[in-house]
Amino acid sequence: MNEQRALPLLGEKFPAMKVKTTKGMISLPDEYSGKWFVLFSHPGDFTPVCTTEFIGFEKRRQDFAALNCELIGLSVDQVFSHLKWIEWIKEKADVEIGFPVIADELGVIASTLGMLHPGKGSNTVRSVFIVDDKGIVRIILHYPQEIGRSVDEVLRAVKALQYADKNQAAMPENWPNNSWLGNKVIIPPANSVDGIKNRLKEAEKDKNIECWDWWFCTRNVD
């Protein structure tokens, strides 16, 4: 009987692994201890949609770095294929890829992280893992091969997670550009009778807090 490997889940430690990359061997998540990182897979080198995504991630790499967040790519191609493709992107698009790309030649890492979906072929789907500075998996996204991801959305998610952690808040749809609340954040609901009373009293005193009901209060962003 084959042993079933458990896929990482939200809130769990990113599985420890040593990976071969275009920047040499890297130990995950230890290599980025104290930093956030975004690990994203692509179906294959020298494919059009993946090329646009790599260019998009590289163009926003400094924005991720400003959030103490690193980028790392992955596919089941070999290192020499990654290197040649990176050269092609530099030559044709004048964009130099500055983040490492994992060469998962045997697909072991892709299997561990649930990036191989038999219904979508033998290559990795477009997965995204956002991992925080403690090595905890915070977001997992999967896109099919035919749909390119939004780099801006991945960056927005990192910003939202970091603000939520720092300020003990929840973030509305499309924060900080919610169509109703704008850039306001949501205060976690009170969970007791006394908590309800205190929350409403707090809202009366603090002009930055607005309560639509005891379970739905928002706060202005500083």
Catalytic residues: 50
CA–CA separation, 172 vs 10, rounded Å?
19
Nearest in space to 144 (alpha carbons), one of 58, 49, 51, 46: 49
The answer to whether 35 touches 45, Cβ cutoff 8 Å, is no
Q: Which residues have C-beta within 8 Å of that of residue 83, sequence separation ≥ 6? A: 22
Tokens of 53: 């995504």
Q: For 125-143, give the DSSP string.
A: -EEEEEE-TTSBEEEEEEE
The answer to whether 16 touches 30, Cβ cutoff 8 Å, is yes
Tokens of 179: 């169509």
Tokens of 206: 């603090």
Task: List Cα–Cα distances, 18 to 27, 29, 30, 164, in angstroms.
Answer: 4, 9, 10, 31
